[in-house]
Amino acid sequence: MGKAIRFIFFGNYFVGILAVALTLEATLQLRLPFNSLNYYLLLFLAPTIYYTYAYNKVSTSPSTTNPRNQWYYKHKAFINWSQGILFVLCMSLAVNLLYQNFNNILNLPASYWSAIIIIIIAGGLYYGLLPKSFLKFNLRNTGWLKAFVIGFVWACCANVLPLIMLKIETGVGYHDSVLWTWLFIKNWMFCTVNAIIFDIKDYPTDANKHLRTFVVRYGLRRTIFYILIPLLIIGLISLGIFADYKGFGLPQVFFNVLPFILTIYVAYSMHRRKNILYYLMVIDGLILFKAVCGIVGMQFVK
């Protein structure tokens, strides 16, 4: 069982599940048609390959203190050939998507192309995946900005990519800009808070590298009580205001509030250090919990 858990979480397959879950939540909340199975498979594989490549790239020697680093070093041969298989499958899905919708992709409006370029650049810069000869800037080295970039990329994954794919596959655009903007900011804020909580895990390493994350700059207690909890309370207040504006029913409000309450509790509990699997299962699990609550909440909408 322990091996299976490490395989799912260290292998970043759980990250792929999160990407699909957030997209399904946003699709239901925006009341959009579902995208093709091809797209959801691609959405699952791309972040799995992306995160595994990034971690495998830095795990070049065994570590006595980092279980994930140990796992990557021990299973390097398996990771390399599995990455190759997943990459071939991912490219096959991408080519099939391109083949089926080639003309629609060429005819995308300029605003859609701008969004695609921004997402690709943000994702590439975050882990320094772009060639250094092209651009040396790495968003991970900007400290406090890192969490907001992570939140931005995940919000784009949930709220922007489905709209782009809807336009490509059906030619239909989305026009409720007020609802879309609020959901995008909510996802951005929630995933940013999640990333700040996750930075607690890297506190000693980031401090040694002089990487000025919120935790390094302000300390653990101040980060929890003056940044994380206030941000979540602001999110709850904005949720209440928007729910009243849109006329959300009580069950829908209740299920959308639950992730914020649970995240506040988890943030408060972070004054004691946890092991790496706790962060991967519980902290990242908050995102899955949010997606499930959002999906359940939409079942009460008439």
CATH of the domain at 73: 1.10.600
Our count of domains for the chain comes to 1
Q: So what's the pLDDT on residue 231?
A: 85
Q: Residue 194's closest CA among 267, 295, 144? A: 267
Separation CA 20–CA 33 (nearest Å): 15
Query: What local confidence, expressed as pLDDT, does residue 73 receive?
Result: 86
15 neighbors 284 (Cβ within 8 angstroms): yes
Provide the residue-wise pLDDT of the chain in tens; the chain has 302 residues. Answer: 688 888 999 999 999 999 999 999 999 988 888 999 999 999 999 999 988 987 887 666 666 677 888 888 888 889 999 999 999 999 999 999 999 999 989 888 888 999 889 888 877 766 555 555 455 555 555 556 778 888 898 999 999 999 999 999 888 777 777 888 888 888 998 998 988 888 777 666 665 555 667 777 777 788 888 888 888 888 888 888 888 877 788 888 899 899 999 998 888 887 777 777 888 888 899 999 999 999 999 888 76
Q: What pLDDT score was predicted for residue 58? A: 67
Rounded Cα gap, residues 36 and 6, in angstroms: 30
Which of 125, 152, 148 has the alpha carbon at shortest distance from 136? 125
Give me the phi and psi of 12, to 5 degrees please.
70, 20
Range of the domain at 12: 2-298
